[in-house]
A = this chain, B = another copy of it.
C-alpha cells in the first residue's frame, strides 16, 4: 500500500526533473508495440474492447438507479454499452464521505496511489486506444498515443506538479523567536494539506482521456474526490479509467468512491446540475465556449478550470524550406480531420505573396501549393484513413458543407471511405480563400477540417489579426513561418501578449497541433480559449489549502 509510492518513486523523480528542465521525457512508451506492451497486448486490448460491447458496464457505485448509454462509433456502428446512472443525492455524499480518510493520508501515500493508477492505465493502453478510437473517431495510432500514453504522461505531469506544490510547505516546523536576554518564544507548528472538496471532471467527446487526466489526477493527488462526467458520446475510455482507479484505491485501503462516474445522455444532461451542487468545489471542463462560460458564471461555489473554443492562426511571412512547410501544414490540417482544439484554422498570407529563398511566390501560388500538398498527402487511402480518422459528430460534417459556401474554395472537402470501416464518416479538409476584412467569417471557431487562407496587406497586418484573434476570441496554438529573425521576434512578443503559444518554422516531425507533456504547456489561461494551462502551478495550487495548528513547544532545558 505505502509501497506504491516506493515502487513508482523513480518515475515521480524523473517527472519532477522533467518539469524543471522541460527536456523531452515520457514515462509511458508511445509506440503501440508488442515488444513494449507484450506480444498479445494488441489482441487482448481489442478483445477487451469487444467484450464491453452490447453489455452493461459495471462499476458497483452507490446510488445507481439505472443504466444508460448512447455511444456510436464514428467508424459506423453502435457500441450498445450502458453505464450506471447515478442518483446525485447519493453519489455526491458518497464522494464527500470518501474524502475523509483520503484527506488525512500523507502526501506520499496519495501520490503513490495516483502513480499506480497511471501505471495500470498504461498497461491497458491498447484497450484504452480502441475505446478512444471508437468514441472519438481518431485513427488507431493517434487514439493509442493521445488517448493512452500521452494522456497518462499529462496525468503524471499533474501528479508531479501537485506533489511539488504540496511538498513546498513542511508538515511540521519549530519556530524560535529570540527575545533578547529572555528565553526565546518557541512554537511547534503543523501544516496540513486540506482538499477543497468534490471535484467534477467534465470530459469532452474528442479527447476524453487526454483532456481529462490533468484535472483528474491534480484533484485526486491533492486529496479531493473526483466525479467524472463523461461526454455521453465518449464514456467508455473514462469508464475504464474510473474502474481501474477504483480498483487501485480499494487495494490501497481507501474508499472506492473517491473516483466515480456520473453518466448522462444528450437528451437529459446533468452537467449544469452537477457543476452547481454545493458539494462540488472544483470543476474541470473541456467543451464549448458557450457552456464553459455558463459554468464559469454559475458554478460560483467552485474553482473552475475551463478549456473552450479558439481560433488558431498561422502567419506565413517567408520561408527557406517551402516544401517542408507545406508538408508540415498538410499533416496539421489533416490530422484527425481538424477536430483538435489545436488545429490551425486561419492562415494569413500577404496578398502580395512571400519570399521563398531568393524567389518570390504569389498569394495564389502559396495557397495552391498548400491545397495540392493536402490533397497529395491524403491521396494514399490507407494513410488518409489513419490520419483523418472519422468525424466524431454529425454536426461537424454538416458544418463542412455549410462552410464551403463561405469563401472561394481552394481545396474542396471530399467524403472518403475507410478501407476497413465502410460506414465510417470520413471527410478531408476544405480550404477557402478570404480577404482580411471578412472577419465576420473567420474570427470564430469553425470546428472540424475547415481552414481559411486569408489575404492580408502585409505580415504586420497578418500578425496583428492573428494576435487580436487570440486575444479576443481565444487560441491555443499559433505558428509563424519566416526566414526573418526580426519578424520571428515580433511574433514572439505579440503572441506572448495575446497569451498563445507560438511555433516557429515547423517543417519536420513536430506539428503545431501537438504539445509534449513535461515540456510544452497546453493553453496558457491567458486568452478566452482557456482559463487554465496544462500544467502549471496555478492549475494545482488552488485545489487544496494549507491549514495550520500551533502550540508552545515543550522544550527541555539544557
Contact = CB atoms under 8 A, between A and B. Distances in A.
A550 B174 contact: no
B175 A505 contact: no
A519 B173 contact: yes
* Chain A interface, >50% SS class: mixed
Contact of A503 (B191, B509, B551): B551
A175 B499 contact: no
A24 B506 contact: no
A435 interface: no
Contacts of A192: 492, 496
Contact of A189 (B170, B189, B506, B519): B519
B504 A23 contact: no
Contacts of A187: 510
Nearest to A190: B492
B536 A538 contact: no
B175 A536 contact: no
Given A194-B497, A300-B297, A495-B547, A552 B165 contact: no
Contacts of A508: 185, 552
A502 interface: yes
A254 interface: no
A506 B549 CA distance: 12
Contact of A23 (B174, B300, B502): B174
A168 interface: yes
Interface string A490-502: 0011011101111
Interface stretch (A207-215, A309-317, A367-375, A521-529): A521-529
Interface in A150-175: 164-165, 168-170, 173-175
Given A300-B297, A526-B194, A538-B541, A21 B546 contact: no
Nearest to A492: B549
A405 interface: no
Interface in A2-44: 19-24
A196 to B, nearest CB: 7
Contacts of A170: 20-22
Contact of A185 (B510, B536, B548): B510
A507 interface: yes
A55 interface: no
* Interface bin, chain A: 35 or more
B503 A175 contact: no
Interface string A391-424: 0000000000000000000000000000000000
Contact of A533 (B178, B196, B526, B545): B545
A379 interface: no
Interface in A282-339: 296-297, 300
Q: Which one of A505, A510, A524, A545 has the greatest number of beta carbons of chain B within 10 Å? A: A545
A479 to B, nearest CB: 10
Nearest to A536: B546
A181 interface: no
A146 to B, nearest CB: 16
A505 B551 contact: yes
A194 B525 CA distance: 11
Nearest to A539: B541
A298 to B, nearest CB: 11
Contacts of A503: 549-551
A10 to B, nearest CB: 19
Contact of A507 (B22, B493, B501, B552): B552
A106 B119 CA distance: 39
A496 B171 CA distance: 13
A252 B415 CA distance: 62
Contact of A22 (B189, B500, B516, B526): B189
A362 interface: no
A520 interface: yes
A525 B545 contact: yes
Contacts of A525: 542, 545
A524 B21 contact: no
A158 B509 CA distance: 42
Nearest to A30: B177
A23 B176 contact: yes
A51 interface: no
A524 B546 contact: yes
A541 B493 CA distance: 21
5 contacts: A23-B175, A168-B537, A501-B550, A533-B546, A538-B541
Given A189-B520, A296-B300, A536-B545, 5 more contacts: A175-B519, A191-B521, A499-B547, A501-B548, A502-B548
